[in-house]
Structures are given as structure tokens and as C-alpha cells.
Amino acid sequence: MSAASALSVSGVSSGYGEAVIVRDVSLAMESGEILALLGKNGMGKSTLLKTIMGFLPVRSGGSIRVFGDTVSGLPPYRVARRAIAYTPQEQALFQDLTVEENLRLGLRDDRTFDAGLARVTKAFAFVGERLAQRAGTLSGGEQKMLLVARALMAAPKLMLIDEITEGLQPSVIERLAGVLRAQRDEFGTAILLVEQNVRFALSVADSFALIKSGEIVDRGRVGDAGAEASIGTHLSV
Amino acid sequence: MSSAGIQGVAGSPAVAGKARSDFRRVIVFSVVALAVIGVAPYVLDTFMVNSLIRGFLYAAVALTVDVLWGYTGVLTFGQSAFFGIGAYAAGLIFTHVGFSLGYAALALAAGVVAAIVVAGIIGWLSFYHGASPLYASVVSLVLPIVLTQVIYTGGEFTGSSSGLSGFESFDVSMELWFWVAGGYLVLLTAGAWLFVRSDAGRILIAIRDNEPRCEYLGINASRVKILLLTAGAVVAAIAGYAFACAQMVVAPEYTGFVFGTELVIWVALGGRGTLLGPVIGTLLIDTSTSYLSGNLPFYWKLIIGLAFVIVIVAIPKGLMPLIGGLFGRRRGEATVEVPTLVEAAATPFAGLEGAGRLAVELKGVRRHYGSLKVLEGIDFSVKRGELLSLVGPNGAGKTTLMRCLSDGYERSGGSIHINDHDAARLPPHRIVGFGIGRKFQTANAFDTLTVAESLRIARTRIAGPAFFSREATLALPKAALQVIRATGLDAVMGVEAKHLSHGMKQALELAMVLSLEPSVLLLDEPTAGLTKPERTMIGTILTDLVRDHGLCILLVEHDLDFVREISSRVIVLHQGRIVLDGTVAEVVESELVRTIYSGGLHAPAKP
Amino acid sequence: MIATLLDIVTSAAILYAVAAGLLIVFGVMKIINFAHGGFLTIGGYSALAVTKLGWNPWASLVFATGIGFVAGMIIERLVVKPLYSRPLDAILATWGLGIIIGQLITIAFGREVQFVQSPMSGAIEFAGASYSSYRLVLVLAATVIGVGIAALLQKTRLGLVTRAVIMNEDLARGLGINSGLVRFFTFSLGAALASLAGALITPLSSVDPNMGVPWLVNAFMLVLVSGVSFMSLLVATVVFGGAQVLVSTYVSPVLGGLTIVVAAAVLMRVRPQGFSRE
């Protein structure tokens, strides 16, 4: 765990009220790494992301660092300003705002809008053509792509993406996988993917972590011997 | 300094006969207070006696504000209106008809009846299923404004802005009025004290803590609030009547909303939800006002305003708890009072009187949010003795379906029958009457109530609460007792629910729902956040309920292992539609389900 | 007939000007600012101060807006911020603030009714009827306020961020938006708008320390029936303002004064979403 890790979580517990959902989690990832956080529903994946973003307090003892700086204890907006793009699972778009407005909200500085737009339209052409459309009127797949587009607007160094593939058709999932890989290759962005769709996750990720009842039970590289088997036992339906 | 948080937990012995001693304490307190009031007029000067008469009557109204706001959570600015109604009933009849004992009785009756009618209308406006608390406050603000304007338009009849004065009234001494007003206040305070601490009084706190949950426990919260408002209106009208008789003057200010907000200020400063705080606060501020407002006319009101803002921001519980703290903490002791658990006489499960074959029947149920279709064309039925699990990925519509089953307002279309009763457009508390018991995903029943009190709230629909005392026993159905004993809840009956562990909270929720004696149990993620042994235990209890009691259980669950272990049938939802309905084996072996769970399926496949 | 119509337009315009500040605070902070009446009173007395100082009466508009903004900034930090999580208490605390403002003004200016110099007097001929020219100026002012708010919200980065906070505060925070700062600015802007409205309406009547209260109650009802939409607010002010003028003119002025509160309370009971579309 070098100081330059893109994300370093150590000994973090958190939850809602009295309930502890995430238990003593330690996890690190480097720039240019795509890490898939796998686990069944209700095991604490989304809770961990919310804790990293500062929406939930870290229980005593734990700490979270981003590119070497401690962010635990900071409010979400200050965490987000460290070049982190967070894509929550639910209500992640402003449905009543236009596509353009949603994209602008991905930026801290409006002057970089044109440059950002040029970049994301390369990945998702429809975004540029439908800037004035209300986000809520896009199809489910387009909304997910807009989410990723917004996250890419500010050229983030770390992306936290929660269940992006849910309810998507295979062709869209393929495209998203391509876009994320390209982002990693071009900009060295670290990407933490929370996924239930194991097939998708393993097709893009370099490494994986398995979470069960709030604890990390396995961590490894995707190609490793035994990785598939471990994932299989933990996630079997 | 002892820590109050710890001493409440487990192991404290039950204090037998606590209710009795509470009653005795109130009597002792009342006798002392009455004795002081009896002597006071001989000690105090006339000015003080006169302003205390007013203070006593104001404090009686402040008491109603405290019960409504401090205990039940209904912030009201309108109690002044009822005070004014009582006062004007006296003023108008004595001025225009004349004074006699008969007319005095008539005026009192007229004031009380008018207050009841107005309270009924205001209650109907303010408290309906789904009304926001803000709206109720707004209506309470509108009432005194409207009433004041009505008086202004009354011309000579109502005396317009100068009010009515110089009418004849009871020819009695000021001392007697002092005793009447003081006695009224003491009796009200004592009665209110016993009431809010009784089993029935806990319902008010349950409504304040979590009104929707009360609805799902079969309590008609709107009706409770309307009744409470009406009772408060009567108390205030009588105070207003006595005020008009004693002071022989009525004016629009006594109905106005400035007075209404002053009442709230006094209650807030004294300490909301303490009864004694508002009474003492009102007496102190009102008498100081009559002394000081002459010397510091504007500064005094400024000081009150500043004190009010500071108290709201910094010490929201008001000054009473601070003063109480000086006399040592006796509150911790009061919360450990625990009733004895007994088994309730076996009653047929709710709603089964006219029950046919089917416990639950849905036809074409839809739920749309704007253009978003969360549920579409849901048809299925469940028999008694079935344990049906609803599974599917996030956003499949499982929880929405649970909502539709327990609240008639929720669905956009289609029909739902529970034990052959049409759910129509009925609120949750009515549907509970058909036999539904719903356990929520998040365990957050009533923060400030103890385990025993929470369970008693759940029994309200069946057992009916005691109004001025606390029962020494708590009768619960066998199934609820099983859960309580198996999980060790019986050892922590006196602990406030918020101090329980997550697992214990879940168990309490389940015990509460079972206390409703439902025939159809809806469970939303009963095992979320529980440890493995806890899950197993819950699973055993559920299968026992189905086998031994013939319940019908509908379960939403993400833990598919759990589903496999206990279900007799599984329905798979995906994107708002039923994609599979079959046995556990059929679902487990289904390629379709595997595809859905691995995220590969976009639209529901045609079978 | 024309006069009644003009009355409806001006009443709606004044109501809109008063309610706009309340609405924006309600939208962003989800609290009803009961000190809004106090801020309106501050605006009225700012105009009185301008009269007493012998400045140009038009200066009162700028002066009142500035004073209101500063008062809003101070109060947001001291009183409103600690109450974000207790909306009902926020109502009470802002109500207490209203009392404090009223008393401070009483101490400074006296409790009697006073008059402010109107920036313009006289009447103009309009479609065959003669009508107070200042009232027509008010319509213009309300339009400017309305367009100004719309432009601020729709055309600026600040407006975009504010709308984002109104719609989903958590999501906005996750995107790096300091919603606390947005609340701070919004509350101050709301106070400034109330104060400006106070300065605008005083030449029509008079000032007294409680002048804000009836406006507060009416504006409050209009906001509640409007949801958080400025379009709905416009509709609500025209419908209810119109009803108020008609009842005042043809039935009785006292009942006219009650029209908005009663109509709004009943509307909310039968149609809880009020004038908003949903």
C-alpha cells in the first residue's frame, strides 16, 4: 500500500444507525486499475461506496485516503472535488434537467464544457445530438450511458460506479465496457466497479474483491488461478 | 454523574405496582397545589391575584398546546381560537341576551358546542391520510386569522375591534375566581399527567415518532388527532369562558393568532412534552409580562423573542428538563417499569370471518409513477398455509408490490382482495383490519418507546388501551411470545427501542406485527443485516407460523439461500412483471432466473 | 371593468413579488421562512429611512435589497443553519426572528403607522380608465423580478447548481456541489427579495412594525399550493389574487382579505399537490 494508491481504505466499518453493514474493510487500488467489487445484494457494496464518498461516517479506527490524502471525515462535496466521479445506483440523474445540464453538473468549471463534450461524444455520439432533451425522457440504456458520460466530463482520476449494467441489454453493456477500458488506458483512471453482473465485471476488470456480509472475503487478479472458482462459490445462486 | 444510557439496559428488576405509586404522587401533588392556591389570595396583592387568574387560564390552554405539539407532534397556532370562542360565547350572550344562571349555563354549552364543531372541521381539514404536518400547522394558523376577521366584520354585534365589555357576569369575589381558575388548572394538569403516562398516552408518542407505522399497526392516527384536537378545543373554550366571566371583557386579541403563537412560545420555553414546563412557563412569563411590559414595553417582548429563538436553536427541549436535572435524574427509573407478559386468549386470526379459499388475490395490479411503470399486470393469488417468496433484482417492483398490498391508495389500477375484502382505496389501518400485517425493511418503530410499550401499541387495535393508568400485564398472542422468548427480547422489555441491536430491532418488529394477529403476513427483507444464527431462527419461526397457525406469508428477500430453505412457492419479478411463478425447485433450475440475476436480460422473455 | 382587471393584474404582481423569495427558500431548504414577513417589514422601513434621509425615493429599492441580503446572511448562519434537520423548529425559530425584527423596528422607528414618499404620483389613462401610475410600475417591477429569477435559475451556473440542490441534494453533493453554500446564498437572496418587495409596496399604503404579517400568511399559502415551481406560483397568484380582488370589490373587503388563506387551505385538502402538475 504505497502512499500514491489511487484509493486506500483501511479498517473501515460503517452502516446506518446502529446497523453495521461494512465491517473492517481494507482495500487498495492503483491508478490505471479497474477493480470489480463483487457480492450479492445487501452485502455492503453500495454502502462502502457511500462511505468512501462521505455520505456515511467512518466508524472509529478506520481511514480512507485518495491519492495519499485522507478524505474520511470530509463532506461529500469535498471528497468529490478530488477528481472523483461517483455514479450512484439509484436516482443518479437529474431527471427534470436536460442532457446538457446533467453534463454540466459533472464539471466544476463551465469553461471546460466544450472540451469535455468533445471527449464524451466520441464515446456516446447520441449525447451530443440530444443536449436539449430532458434526461428523464431518455431510454433506460441511454440514461446509463449519460451517467457514464457525466462522470467522464471532468476527466476524473478515480471513478466509483455502482451497478451501471443493471437492466441493460448486452450490446449497451459491451459499449460501456469498451468506454471504461479506453478511459483507463488513455488517462490512467482508477475505476471501482460495484457489480452484480459478474460476466461484465470480469470482462473489464483487472482485479476483483469479493464482499460478503460486509467483509472482504477474497481479493485477487482476474486471470489468477482459482479466481473463477472462488467467485463462483461465493456468488452461486 | 451516572450514565443514564447504560442503566436502562437489561437486568433492572421490574418495579411492581409502579402505576399505583404514580397515581398517589399525582394526588399528593394536586393536594399540595390546591392548598397553595387556597392560601395564595390572602398573601398576594390584588394585582398579582388578578394576573394569576389570567395566567391560570392561559396555562390551561398552553397545556392543550403541549399535549398536541409536545406529545403528539402536531404544531398548532390555533388554540387561541377556541379560547376566543368560549370567551365570545359568554360575551355575546351576556351582552345581547342578558345574564342569569340559566343563560350562563347556556353560554357555556354554546361555547363548548361551537368549539367542538370548529375543531371537527379543522380536524377534517388538517388530518387525513398522507397530510403533511406542515399543512396541519398552516390550517391552525388560518383558523384564528379567519375568526378574528369574522369578529371585525360583526360590527356592533361583536364589538368589532374593541370587543365587548361592561356586560353583567357572576357576582363573585376575585378570590373565588382565583380558586376556580387555579383548581381548573390543577385538575387539568393532573388529568393530563395521568393520561400522557397511561397506555393510551403512549399512542400519542407513537404517532409523534412514526405516524405511518401507527397506521400499519391498525391505529387510525387521523382520528386520534381529531379527537385530541376536539378535547383540547373544549378545554380551551372553557378557559376562555371563565376568562370572559371573570374579567368581564372580551376582545379580538384573545382569538387571534398572535396569542396563538404566544402559547407556542410559552410551551417551547417551558419545555415541550413536559406538561409542568409549559404551565410554569406560562405563569412566569405572563405575570412578568404584566409587571414588566409597563416599564420596558418593547424591550420585554424583544427579550421574549430572543429567548424563544435561543431556546429553539440551542435547547429544543426547553427549560424544564434543565431545572429537572438539578433535582437529580428520576427519569431513568420511570422507564424500567415493565408489565408481565401473558399469553392472550386465542382469538381467530383477524379478517377470517368471511374468509374463503384465498388469502390474497390480485388482478391486473399496476403502479405507475408518471410515465415510469413500476408494476404492470400483476395477477396472482395466495392461499392460507402458503409461504410465498417474491424475488427479483433491484428495481423489479417487489417493495412496491408490498406497498400496494397494504395501502389501498398505492396502486394505479387493478384490484386487490384480502381474505375476500376489497382493499378498494382504503388506508393502511383499515387493511390491517382485513388481516394484513406488514413488517418493514427498516426496523425503526418508535424511538422513544420501550420494547414493552411498542408491543402494547401493536395491541391497541385488539386490546384497547387504558386511559389513565398502565396495565400491569401485557397479553400477547402465542406466536409473538415465541419470537420474544427465542430472541431474548423478554429480558429487555424496559429498554427504549432505539438502544436495541439491529437484530433485536428486527425481532421486535416481527413480534409487533405478530401481535396484530394477522392472517396474512408481509415481510420485507426480514433477514437484512442479521447474522447467520439469527436468520436460521427467523426462518424456523416463519415456517412454524405457516404450519401451526395456517398463516399466509409473503416474503421479499434477496438472500436466495434463505428463500430456498423456507418457501413453498416463489414468484420472480423483473421490470415490474411476473416472469416466473413456481416451486423452489423450478425457480432454482430456471435458466431465465440465472440470466436475470447476472444482468443479461433486458426485456422480460415471452414464456 | 378595466379597473378591476388592472387591480387583478397588480395584485397578482405584488403577491408574486412577495411570494417569490419565500418560494425559492422553500424549494432549496424545504423550510418555511416565517421571518419573511420580518424581511418585508425591513424593506418597508428601509424605504422610510430613505424618505427621512431625503434621498431619491427610487434609491429605496436598492437600499432595501442590500439591507435584506445582509440580514439574510447573518440570520442564515446564526439561526437557520443549525435547524436544517428540524424543519418544524425552523418555522418556530424564524417566527421568533419575525418578533425580534418587529420589536427592533418598533424601538428604532416607533410603533405608529408612517408614510413613505412615493417615487411617482399621479395617474395615467389606460384603455379609457384612469389608473395609478405607481401600481403599473409595480406590475413592471414584478415582471422584472420574475424574469430576473428565471434568468438566474435557467441561465447561470449558480442557478443550475441551485436547481440541482432543489431536485436532489445528495446527488448534487456527490458531484462536488457545496449545498451548504447554496442554502446560504438562497436564504440571503430570499431575504433580499422580501425586503425589495416590502420597499415596493410601501408607497401604496404605509409602514408599521407588523406590516409583514398579512403578507407573510398570504405568500405562505401561495407557496404551499405552488409546490416548488415558479410557473405554478404565477398561476396561483393570478387565480387567488384575482379571487381576492373580486371578493373585495363585489362582496366585502374583509372577506377579500381572507380569500387566499381559506381558498388555499381548502384546495390543499381536496388536491394536496395544489397547482403543481404532478
Mean pLDDT for chain C overall = 88
Region B466-479: what's the mean pLDDT? 86
Per the CB < 8 A criterion, the answer to whether B292 and B84 are in contact is no
- The answer, for B510 touching chain C at a CB cutoff of 8 Å, is no
Residue B524 per-residue DSSP state: E
The pLDDT-based confidence of C71 (bands split at 50, 70, 90) is very high
Provide the number of CB pairs (under 8 Å) joining chain B to chain C: 96
Contact status, residue B461 vs residue B477, Cβ threshold 8 Å:
no
> How does pLDDT run across B67-106, given as a tens digit for each residue?
999 999 999 999 999 999 999 999 999 999 999 999 999 9
**Chain B residues with CB-CB distance to C32 below 8 A:** 134
H/E segment holding residue B573: strand B569-574
Task: At A50, give phi and psi (nearest 5°).
Answer: -65, -35
C257 touching chain B per CB within 8 A: yes
Contacts of B591 in chain A (CB under 8 A): none
Place B394 in a pLDDT band, splitting at 50, 70 and 90. Answer: low
Cell, residue C275: 397547482
Number of helices (H), then strands (E), in chain A: 9, 10
Between chains, do C272 and B134 touch, taking CB under 8 Å as contact?
no
Compute the nearest-CA separation of B483 from chain C (Å).
35
Residue C189 falls within a domain, yes or no? yes
Q: What is the mean pLDDT of residues B166-194?
A: 94
Nearest-CA distance from B170 to chain A in Å? 60
How close, in Å, is residue C254 to chain B by CA atoms? 7
Percentage of chain C lying above the pLDDT 70 cut: 99
B285 — contact with chain C (CB < 8 Å)? no
Q: Label the pairing between strands B358-369 and B372-383.
A: antiparallel
Enumerate the residues of chain A whose CB falls inside 8 A of the CB of residue C160: 97, 101, 104-105
Distances (CA, A) of A128 to A107, A108, A120, B73: 16, 20, 8, 51
C11 is a domain residue: yes
Helix axes B276-295, B257-270, angle to 10 degrees: 120
> Which of B123-127, B451-455, C122-126 is predicted least confidently?
C122-126
Find residue A63's DSSP bridge partners.
A10
What is the rounded distance in angstroms from the CA atom of residue B537 to the CA atom of residue B189?
Answer: 47
Instruction: Tell me if A96 and C167 make a contact (CB, 8 A cut-off).
Output: yes
Q: Which residues between 198 and 237 in chain A have a beta carbon less than 8 angstroms from any beta carbon of chain B?
A: 198-200, 237
pLDDT at B347: 62
The reply to whether C123 falls in a domain is no
Q: CB–CB of B139 and C265 under 8 A? A: yes
Mean pLDDT across the stretch C43-70? Answer: 92
pLDDT at B532 over 80: no
pLDDT of res. B6? 31
> Which cell numbers hold the place of B60?
390551561
Do B600 and A89 count as a contact with CB atoms less than 8 A apart? no
B12's grid cell: 433492572
Residue in chain C nearest B369 by alpha carbon: C278
Does residue C278 fall inside a structural domain?
A: no
Helical axes C36-53 vs C87-109, angle rounded to 10°? 20
Put simply, the answer to whether B599 touches A42 (Cβ < 8 Å) is: no
* Closest B-chain CA to A41: B558
pLDDT the model gives residue C154: 87
Of the candidates B143, B164, B133, the one whose C-alpha atom is nearest the C-alpha of residue B69 is B133
CA distances to A36, A150, A162 from A204, rounded to whole Å, are: 8, 20, 15
Indicate which of A21, A23, A38, A41 best probes the interface with B, i.e. most B CBs within 10 Å of its own CB. Answer: A41
Bridge partners of B522, per DSSP, are B438, B554
B36 min Cα distance to partner chain A (Å): 48
Tally: H helices and E strands in chain C:
11, 2
State the alpha helices, DSSP H only, in A96-214: 99-104, 113-123, 125-129, 140-153, 170-187, 198-204
CB count within 10 Å of CB B404 equals 24
Which of A71, A91, A105 would you mutate first to test chain C, the one with the most C CBs within 10 A?
A105
Option in A42, A195, A200 nearest B558 (CB): A42
Nearest CA in chain A to B563: A237
Domain holding C213, by residue range, is 2-110+129-270
Which tens digit of pLDDT belongs to each residue from B538-569? 888 888 888 887 889 999 887 778 888 899 99
Q: How many residues does the structure list for chain B? A: 607
Candidate from B195-204, B373-382, C130-139 with smallest mean pLDDT: C130-139
* Closest CA of chain A from B239, distance in Å: 45
3-state helix, strand, coil in chain C (%, to 5): 75, 5, 20
Q: What is the pLDDT of residue C5?
A: 86
Residue B122 has pLDDT above 60, yes or no: yes
| Rounded Cα distance, B361 and B520, in Å | 12
Determine, yes or no, domain membership for C7.
yes
DSSP class of residue B351?
Answer: T
Q: Is C278 on the interface with A (CB under 8 A)?
A: no
CATH of the domain at C144: 1.10.3470
Give pLDDT tens digits for C199-227: 998 988 889 888 888 888 899 889 988 87
Q: Which chains touch C (3 or more CB pairs under 8 A)?
A: A, B
Residue C41 pLDDT level (bands cut at 50, 70, 90): very high
Written as one letter, the residue type at B251 is: A
Q: Find cell 365589555 and name the residue.
A: B165
Q: Is the pLDDT of residue B286 over 70?
A: yes
Residue B565 has a CB neighbour count (10 Å cut-off) of 15
Our count of domains for chain C comes to 1
Does C266 contact B at CB distance below 8 Å?
A: yes
Best to test chain B binding among C77, C103, C244, C270 (most B CBs inside 10 Å) = C103
B contacts of A19 (beta carbons < 8 Å): 502, 529
Q: CA–CA separation, C273 vs B122, rounded Å?
A: 19
Q: What is the mean pLDDT of residues B363-385?
A: 86
Position C81 in a domain: yes
pLDDT at B342: 85
**Closest-CA residue in chain C for A96?**
C167
Is B139 in Cβ contact with C254 (below 8 Å)? no
The SS3 assignment for C69 reads helix
**Is A108:C160 a contact under the CB 8 Å cutoff?**
no
C276 falls within a domain:
no
Q: Which residues of C touch A77 (CB under 8 A)?
A: 173-179
Which amino acid is residue B259, in one-letter code? F
Give the model's pLDDT for residue A61: 83
Q: pTM above the 0.90 mark?
A: no
Residue B590 identity:
S
Q: Check pLDDT > 50 for residue B309.
A: yes
- Mutation to test the C interface, candidates A94, A102, A131, most C Cβ within 10 Å: A94
The pLDDT score that the predictor gives to residue B343 is 85
Residues of B in contact with C99 (CB under 8 A): 301-302, 304-305, 308
What percent of chain B is predicted at pLDDT more than 90? 46
Assign B604 a pLDDT band (cuts: 50, 70, 90).
very low
Residue B376 C-alpha, separation from nearest chain C C-alpha, in angstroms: 20
Residue B481 has pLDDT above 70, yes or no: yes
* Minimum CA–CA partner of A202 in chain B: B598
CA angle A96, A102, A106 (to 5 degrees): 150
The distance of B393 to chain A (nearest Cα, Å) reads 8
Give Cβ neighbours of residue B332 (< 8 Å, ≥ 6 apart).
B4, B7, B8
How large is the average pLDDT for residues A17-41? 86
Say if the Cβ atoms of B394 and A163 lie within 8 Å: yes
Q: Which residues in chain B are closer than 8 Å to A173, comparing Cβ atoms? A: 599
pLDDT of residue B336: 56
* Res A237 pLDDT > 50: no
Minimal Cβ distance to B130: which of C86, C87, C272: C272
Residue B443 in this model has a pLDDT that exceeds 80: no
Taking the CA atoms of chain B, what radius of gyration do you get in angstroms?
Answer: 28
C103 touching B (Cβ < 8 Å): yes
**Which chains reach chain B with 3 or more Cβ–Cβ distances below 8 angstroms?**
A, C
| Confidence category of residue A84, pLDDT binned at 50, 70, 90 | very high
Distance from CA of A115 to the nearest CA of B (A): 33
Sign of CA dihedral C150, C155, C158, C159: positive
Dihedral sign of CA atoms A16, A20, A21, A23 in order: positive
Contacts of B461 by beta carbon, 8 Å cutoff, 6+ apart: B217, B218, B219, B429, B432, B433, B516
Query: What are B21-49's pLDDT values in tens digits?
Result: 678 889 999 999 999 999 999 999 999 99
Q: Does A42 touch chain B (CB under 8 A)?
A: yes
pLDDT over 50 at B4, yes or no: no
User: Do B374 and B367 form a contact (C-beta atoms < 8 A)?
Assistant: yes
B142 contacts B256 by C-beta, under 8 angstroms? no
Sort out which chain B residues have CB atoms less than 8 A from C93's CB and list them: 308-309, 312-313
In one letter, which amino acid is A146? L
pLDDT digits 0-9 by tens, A34-77: 999 988 766 788 889 999 999 999 987 899 999 999 999 899 99
The minimal CB distance from C88 to the residues B133, B299, B304 is found for: B133
Give partners of A (≥3 CB pairs < 8 A): B, C
pLDDT (mean) for A154-165: 91
In a domain, residue C151? The reply is: yes
